Amino acid sequence: MAEAAAAKPAKQTKPMIQTILLGVVVLLLLGDLSLRGIAYFKTPKAEAASAQGDAPANEKRPQAAETPEVKAAVALEPFLVNLADKDSVRFVKASFQLGFADEKASEEFPKNKAVLAAARDSIISMLSSLTAEDVLSIEGKTKLREEIKRRVNEVSHEFAVQNVYIVEFVVQM
């Protein structure tokens, strides 16, 4: 009788093991399919389509007339500036590159020492008036880029900056 009782649980565990294995295989297949779906949405083609308002990737979005394409960039020397935080002494170390639509302007800008000095002075004055909270967010960095572009274009009428690139940015906390 003991032998008959031992044989019954073995028969019951076999279908249970098969069910568990089948469940694991189904879960693996579903996981693979969901990862493939996620990978589809991460492809450059899908990102380009979503960035262009869900337009097909082969259709190009028209550029705004007032923003020509950047063809050359000029690196400015790094800035090390105390921030205007009142609760503690903080500083920012940042490096920027200025993007120009005209390659000739990018060659001439660094040679014009008066314009370069005026641009650096304006950027230092602006940076030293900001707080760490002003510059740590994405929105703060976007405003920072726009303000640098505006200030450099104010002091340099002959060289039109199209874009400002932040290439190094450290805030001491």
Whether residue 81 sits in one domain with residue 46: no
User: What are 70's two structure tokens?
Assistant: 């950047």
Whether residue 158 sits in one domain with residue 80: yes
Give per-residue pLDDT as tens, 109-162. 999 999 999 999 999 999 999 999 999 999 999 999 999 999 999 998 888 999
Q: Model pTM?
A: 0.60
Let me know if residue 62 belongs to a domain: no
Residue 27, pLDDT score:
64
Let me know if residue 44 belongs to a domain: yes
**Beta-bridge mates of residue 155:** none
Three-state secondary structure call for residue 93: strand
Residue 2, pLDDT score:
52
Mean pLDDT along residues 84-110: 91
Give per-residue pLDDT as tens, 41-90. 444 444 444 444 444 444 444 444 455 688 899 999 999 999 999 989 99
Whole-number Å distance between alpha carbons of 81 and 164: 18
Whether residue 113 sits in one domain with residue 31: no
Whether residue 96 sits in one domain with residue 20: no
Let me know if residue 58 belongs to a domain: no
For 21, the domain range is 2-51
Residue 30: how many CA atoms within 13 Å on its side-chain side?
Answer: 6
CATH code at 98?
Answer: 3.30.479.30
